[in-house]
């Protein structure tokens, strides 16, 4: 790391042979970062090259127009971080997404690759359960963290810190954004994920987000209360969806497809866990991860995939109306540091979370705050039990230990309305089609990966109808199917790499830009929306 000095920098545009190319960063000095401290707009008539680590400083807003391409030089491309107190408005549309990628991406064909540029990191002011020093075990405004994958800058440490006391914090909008071939390995357990979210508040709007081929995790969330909707995560080199240090949010409509991004060890280019869930940095700290996830479709790796869900440090997550297929290891796994259940004291067994009412999170230990404060802090779960898998389809998870723990904690009790299927013909598959390529064996560990080359993720068979549905609460959309897609609509159309690379079927969608009832600007007519909603509810 070069010696860092304070730098007040605007967007630096450097003339090039290509009209419309804008270099973001100042490569003429000895520093390896640029701080943008005044608001900027990146426009769709330019291609932006991130030349180094870019920080959008507190008080500044970065606006990115629909259709804008941020395509950094492969292998040397920089990274973008939105600092605590700054905002980003990257508002693509279904026909004109915002794309972050590298120059190795021809925008038409998938390739083996990752770590070709950095990532998008957003840092906010919501509560997190950890402080860098003198850790406080309760909700505390002074709990803050150093963002993974970013170097602390002497004299400007604030640039890489997240955390505060505003669970309603607003860091802006991400909509119809595709992040491809990114990530960076700084050191052991110190990497850039596809999308890193630190202490982001529920005032932030994140929807229609794609992570394709990242070297580390797909999306990682530390603390905060941000909610996510319409998430597409493919070929991640570590955990696809990683939760840490007290995330208390909601997610709905997600497709996760496991594979590999580069030929490397599992966790460094080859997919590891699907959901890795860490409750708090220490298992008796607060807040603790307590989340609700509806309508996800997971397509795992059947031979050398790792856990579907890996619980640590008191994490509480509900999964409902999902499809889990071809997982290569345990459906439910926990390790030895999950030893503390707050409603009954230390030393309790982890399995208790599958029978304890969701509102037990409001009565946790180490809490000087009032009951009303705790109810406000824990809004994601509104019924059921703290840990739950219900009203979901479990298809062809054939590992010998796949269902051992799941059965022990009662996931397949009749009241949970789960469907477990072993199908050798494919006739009962809960999605409409799936094609895998030839087996790829990694050179170091000999892991066998069957990459997904094409998918029609729309609901089929037992996924077409669910028993229950998400609550009508202002965020969730109540739909009566299992998995991320109804039987007749593919929301990957138009804006994703998966669609651009010809890896999904959108033939069921009618109209221009393959959007069906979605307009060119990404909006939906009320009449069309009601028609779609009625189809989904029935």
The sign of the CA dihedral 441, 442, 445, 449 is negative
Given a cut of 80, is residue 4 above it in pLDDT? no
pLDDT score of 338: 52
Better pLDDT: 433 or 152: 433
**Residue 523 CA to chain centroid, in angstroms?**
23
Stretch among 28-42, 360-374, 424-438 having the lowest mean pLDDT: 360-374
Peptide bond into 64 cis (omega under 30): no
Q: For residue range 81-134, what is the model confidence (pLDDT) as tens digits?
A: 999 999 999 999 999 999 999 999 999 999 999 999 999 999 999 999 887 666
Q: Is residue 14 part of a domain?
A: no
Residue 465: inside a domain? yes
Quote the domain boundaries for residue 508. Answer: 21-537
Domain assignment present for 8: no
* Closest alpha carbon to 275 in 387, 364, 191, 415: 387
Distance separating the N- and C-terminal Cα atoms of the chain = 57
Both tokens assigned to 343? 């409603």
Q: How many domains does the chain have?
A: 1
Q: Indicate whether 262 belongs to any domain.
A: yes
Q: What is the pLDDT of residue 285?
A: 77
Judging by DSSP bridges, how do beta strands 227-234 and 316-320 pair with one another? unpaired
Output the pLDDT for position 340.
Answer: 47
**402-416, pLDDT tens digit by residue?**
999 999 999 999 999
In terms of residues, how long is the chain?
538
Question: 429: helix, coil or strand?
Answer: coil
Give the H or E element holding residue 530: helix 526-537
Q: How far apart are CA 138 and CA 145, in angstroms?
A: 15
pLDDT band at 364 (very low <50, low <70, confident <90, very high): low
- Domain assignment present for 13: no
Q: What would the two tokens of residue 50 be?
A: 């991130």
Residue 160 near residue 198, CB atoms below 8 Å: no
Residue 6 lies in a domain: no
pLDDT, tens only, 496-533: 999 999 999 999 997 656 544 444 334 444 444 444 55
- Taking the C-alpha atoms of residue 140 and residue 280, their distance in angstroms, rounded to an integer, is 14
Q: Is residue 204 part of a domain?
A: yes
Full-model pTM:
0.92
Query: Cβ of 180: how many Cβ atoms within 10 Å?
Result: 29
197-252 tens-digit pLDDT: 999 999 999 999 999 999 999 999 999 999 999 999 999 999 999 999 999 999 99
| Among the listed residues 406, 497, 433, 425, the one whose alpha carbon sits nearest the alpha carbon of residue 100 | 497
């Amino acid at each position: 790391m070069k010696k860092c000095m304070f730098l007040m920098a605007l967007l630096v545009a450097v003339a090039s042979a290509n009209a419309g190319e804008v270099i973001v960063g100042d490569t003429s000095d000895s520093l390896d970062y640029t701080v943008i401290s005044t608001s900027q707009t990146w426009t769709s008539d330019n291609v932006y090259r991130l030349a180094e680590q870019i920080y959008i400083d507190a008080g500044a807003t970065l606006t990115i127009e629909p259709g804008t391409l941020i395509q950094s030089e492969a292998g040397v491309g920089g990274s973008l971080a939105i600092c605590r107190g700054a905002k980003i408005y990257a508002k693509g549309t279904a026909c004109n997404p915002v794309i972050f990628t590298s120059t190795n991406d021809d925008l038409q064909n998938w390739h083996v690759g990752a770590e070709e540029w950095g990532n998008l990191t957003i840092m906010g002011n919501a509560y997190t359960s950890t402080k860098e020093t003198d850790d406080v075990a309760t909700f505390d405004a002074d709990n803050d963290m150093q963002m993974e994958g970013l170097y602390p800058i002497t004299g400007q440490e604030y640039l890489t810190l997240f955390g505060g006391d505003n669970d309603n914090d607003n860091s802006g909008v991400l909509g119809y954004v595709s992040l491809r071939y990114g990530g960076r390995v700084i050191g052991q357990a110190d990497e850039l994920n596809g999308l890193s979210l630190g202490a982001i508040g529920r005032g932030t709007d994140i929807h229609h987000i794609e992570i394709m081929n990242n070297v580390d995790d797909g999306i990682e969330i530390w603390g905060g209360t941000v909610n996510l909707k319409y998430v597409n995560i493919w070929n991640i080199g570590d955990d696809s969806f990683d939760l840490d240090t007290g995330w208390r949010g909601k997610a709905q409509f997600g497709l996760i497809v496991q594979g590999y991004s580069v030929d490397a060890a599992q966790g460094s280019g080859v997919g590891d866990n699907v959901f890795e869930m860490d409750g708090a940095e220490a298992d008796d700290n607060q807040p603790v991860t307590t989340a609700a996830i509806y309508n996800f479709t997971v397509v795992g790796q059947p031979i050398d995939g790792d856990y579907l869900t890996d619980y640590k440090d008191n994490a509480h997550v509900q999964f409902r109306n999902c499809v889990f297929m071809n997982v290569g290891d345990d459906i439910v796994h926990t390790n030895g540091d999950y030893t503390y259940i707050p409603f009954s004291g230390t030393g309790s067994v982890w399995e208790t979370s599958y029978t304890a009412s969701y509102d037990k999170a409001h009565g946790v230990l180490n809490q000087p705050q009032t009951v009303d404060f705790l109810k406000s802090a824990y809004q994601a779960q509104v019924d059921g039990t703290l840990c739950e898998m219900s009203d979901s389809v479990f298809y062809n998870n054939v590992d010998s230990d796949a269902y051992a723990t799941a059965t022990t904690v009662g996931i397949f009790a009749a009241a949970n309305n789960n469907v477990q299927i072993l199908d050798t013909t494919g006739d009962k598959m809960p999605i409409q089609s799936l094609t895998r390529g030839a087996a790829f064996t990694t050179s170091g560990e000999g892991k066998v990966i069957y990459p997904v080359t094409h998918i029609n993720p729309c609901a089929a068979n037992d996924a077409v109808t669910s028993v229950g549905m998400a609550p009508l609460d202002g965020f969730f959309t109540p739909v009566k199917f299992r998995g991320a897609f109804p039987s007749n609509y593919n929301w990957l159309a138009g804006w994703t790499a998966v669609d651009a690379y010809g890896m999904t079927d959108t033939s069921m969608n009618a109209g221009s830009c393959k959007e069906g009832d979605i307009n060119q600007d990404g909006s939906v007519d009320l009449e069309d929306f009601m028609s779609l909603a009625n189809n989904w509810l029935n």
